[in-house]
């Protein structure tokens, strides 16, 4: 690959209220934002794509080569400074979706109020100076952010399965579980949104970042969303994960019972069982890479604007090899993906059943999405509560539910609507009262990416 040259420049303090939001102005932007801090990327200095079972290993090789040949000037030590790649990986090794890493031309970073800009180029003639970094950023910010109003023609269409077909798939999953074939499967479905005027992705991202402050708002090549689930975060040799499984819709909660989530969610044996399978799968896969690991003995209730989840935070010290190196974020995501929060248990049985029952390609949905730097730091979430922008006026949304013994198809269907809600609201839409169900409309829905 061509040699990359980059320079990182500190640019002072930024208010915590607005943070990176003022940099979300373009549709093809890369972003990773939580509590208004994180990273925003513009343009492209280099790109890797791949599909199939080797996608993580090939990405690792490419990233190593990019770093080895790079000329990096970085006076800072914070994670996210120096050379940075954003990425998104297909859920399935059989997916035609191209997993990708993108090294942006410009990254704006913000952490603990301190901001920086990194400029990266593959052009051997380009000047790589603090001035070029600041001027290039200014050019990207030339246009005012667009604003889109809901259009009367905006509408929600069914996805690959109708609601009743999807409920049948849930019932068949429950039957497989009762027969002892597996203990959990995460079954997902899609819906399509057709817009009367072109989407303004930056507006959707700004709305998600403001409303879902405690989630990680992401954007990589048309994959946009705000995920509450951290697959793995690596910083200075320490790894952290946030495992979620077990959901309760807040829209149907009574106003007068403050402990409702605790009673109904944390007090449910079924939800605890579903959660336990997810946390066990994560810790089992992470353990070989660690020298010590801690997690809460009991899950806590995570409150989001749309739902409550049962959540467990895991923290581990990564074990160094004989050269003193700890595993890279890409090594870890390859080992951890897919966890039982998005696939099931046993993984291979659940994976087969997912391809048989869902009738769609998940593409990047439920795959790892995030970023990493040259120092071995990175944050990779699971691409949930999101959508794929298929054309400027067509967006496909995905949501899934953990199915265990005793799961009820109608309740699981309702749960998918609660998980579509963040993206639907950010798009200015509401759940339809009556979803069109004519077969001709299914046929006209665009295929999943």
Ligand X SMILES: C=C(O[C@H]1C=CC=C(C(=O)O)[C@@H]1O)C(=O)O
Surface-to-core class of residue 75, CB atoms within 10 Å of its CB (0-12 exposed, 13-18 middle, 19+ buried): exposed
Active site residue 394: no
Measured from the CB atom, the residue of 45 and 307 that comes closer to ligand X is 307
| Smallest distance from ligand X to CB 181, Å | 19
User: Which two three-digit tokens encode residue 253?
Assistant: 């909660």
Q: Is the peptide bond before 294 cis (omega within 30 degrees of 0)?
A: no
Q: Tokens 């997993």 sit at which residue?
A: 99
Q: Catalytic: which of 229, 334, 358, 379?
A: 229
Whole-number Cα distances in Å, 326 to 68, 85, 158, 320, 377? 17, 19, 45, 4, 10
Active site residue 229: yes
Considering only residues 295 to 354 of the shown chain, the ones binding ligand X according to CB under 6 A are: 309, 341-342
Q: Catalytic: which of 184, 334, 379, 419?
A: 184
Measured from the CB atom, the residue of 209 and 231 that comes closer to ligand X is 231
- Contacting range for ligand X; rule: CB under 6 A; set: 30-38, 103-111, 138-146, 396-404: 396-404
| Smallest distance from ligand X to CB 153, Å | 27
- Contacting range for ligand X; rule: CB under 6 A; set: 217-225, 240-248, 254-262, 318-326: 240-248
Measured from the CB atom, the residue of 222 and 386 that comes closer to ligand X is 386
| Smallest distance from ligand X to CB 245, Å | 4
| Smallest distance from ligand X to CB 292, Å | 26
Cβ atoms of residues 159 and 396 within 8 Å: yes
Measured from the CB atom, the residue of 41 and 402 that comes closer to ligand X is 402
Measured from the CB atom, the residue of 243 and 332 that comes closer to ligand X is 243
Give the span between the Cα atoms of 281 and 298, in whole angstroms: 16
> Which of the 8 DSSP states describes residue 30?
E
| Smallest distance from ligand X to CB 402, Å | 4
191 in contact with ligand X (CB under 6 A): no
User: Which two three-digit tokens encode residue 330?
Assistant: 């890409």
Measured from the CB atom, the residue of 186 and 314 that comes closer to ligand X is 186
Options 66, 117, 200, 244; binder of ligand X; rule CB under 6 A: 244
Whole-number Cα distances in Å, 259 to 262, 263, 266, 308, 316? 5, 6, 10, 12, 31
Give the span between the Cα atoms of 368 and 262, in whole angstroms: 30
SS3 content of the chain, % helix, strand, coil (to 5): 30, 35, 40
Q: H-type helices in 179-243, by residue range?
A: 201-211
Cβ atoms of residues 103 and 118 within 8 Å: no
Convert residues 139-178 into a mask of x (bound to ligand X by CB under 6 A) and - (unbound).
Answer: ----------------------------------------
419 in contact with ligand X (CB under 6 A): yes
> Nearest 5°: phi and psi at 123?
-80, 115
Options 174, 401, 404, 423; binder of ligand X; rule CB under 6 A: 401
Give me the DSSP letters along 116-143: EEEEEE--TTS--SHHHHHHHHHHHT-S
Options 38, 222, 381, 400; binder of ligand X; rule CB under 6 A: 400
- Contacting range for ligand X; rule: CB under 6 A; set: 16-24, 171-179, 399-407, 421-429: 399-407
> Nearest 5°: phi and psi at 354?
-60, -45
Q: Where along the sequence are the contacts to ligand X (CB under 6 A)?
A: 186, 188, 229, 244-247, 309, 341-342, 384-385, 399-402, 419
Residues annotated as part of the active site: 184, 229
């Amino acid at each position: 690959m061509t040699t990359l040259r980059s320079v990182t420049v500190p640019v002072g303090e930024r208010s915590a209220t607005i943070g990176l939001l003022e940099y979300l102005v373009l549709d093809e932007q890369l972003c990773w934002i939580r509590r208004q801090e994180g990273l925003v990327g513009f343009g492209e200095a280099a790109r890797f794509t791949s599909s199939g079972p080797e996608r993580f290993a090939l990405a690792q090789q490419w990233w190593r080569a990019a770093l080895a040949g790079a000329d990096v000037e970085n006076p800072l030590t914070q994670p996210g400074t120096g050379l940075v790649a954003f990425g998104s990986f297909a859920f399935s090794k059989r997916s035609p979706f191209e997993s990708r890493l993108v090294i942006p031309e410009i990254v704006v970073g913000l952490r603990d109020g301190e901001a920086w800009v990194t400029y990266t180029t593959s052009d051997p003639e380009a000047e790589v100076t603090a001035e070029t970094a600041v001027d290039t950023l200014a050019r990207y910010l030339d246009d005012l952010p667009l604003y889109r109003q809901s259009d009367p023609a905006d509408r929600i269409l069914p996805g690959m399965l109708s609601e009743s077909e999807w409920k049948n798939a849930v019932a068949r999953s429950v039957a497989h579980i009762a027969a002892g074939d597996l203990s959990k499967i995460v079954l997902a479905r899609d819906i399509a949104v057709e817009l009367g005027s072109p989407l303004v992705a930056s507006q959707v991202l700004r709305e998600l970042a403001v409303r879902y402050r405690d989630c990680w708002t992401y954007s990589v090549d048309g994959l946009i969303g705000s995920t509450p689930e951290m697959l793995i975060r690596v910083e200075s040799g320490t790894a952290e994960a946030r495992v979620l499984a077990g959901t309760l819709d807040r829209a149907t909660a009574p106003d007068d019972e403050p402990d409702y989530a605790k009673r109904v969610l944390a007090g449910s044996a079924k939800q605890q069982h579903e959660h336990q399978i997810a946390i066990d799968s994560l810790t089992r896969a992470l353990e070989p890479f660690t020298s010590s690991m801690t997690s809460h003995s009991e899950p806590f209730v995570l409150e989001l604007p749309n739902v409550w989840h049962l959540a467990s935070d895991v923290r581990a010290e990564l074990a160094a090899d004989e050269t003193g190196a700890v595993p890279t974020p890409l090594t870890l995501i390859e080992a951890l993906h897919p966890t039982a929060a998005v696939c099931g248990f046993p993984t291979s049985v659940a994976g087969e059943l997912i391809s048989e029952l869902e009738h769609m390609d998940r593409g990047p949905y439920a795959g790892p999405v995030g970023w990493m730097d040259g120092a071995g730091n990175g944050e990779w979430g699971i691409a949930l509560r999101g959508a794929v922008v298929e054309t400027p006026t067509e967006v496909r949304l995905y949501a899934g539910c953990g199915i265990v013994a005793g799961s009820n198809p109608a309740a699981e269907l309702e749960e998918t609507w609660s998980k579509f809600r963040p993206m639907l609201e950010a798009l200015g839409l509401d759940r339809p009262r009556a979803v069109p169900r004519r077969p001709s409309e299914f046929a006209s829905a665009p295929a999943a990416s």
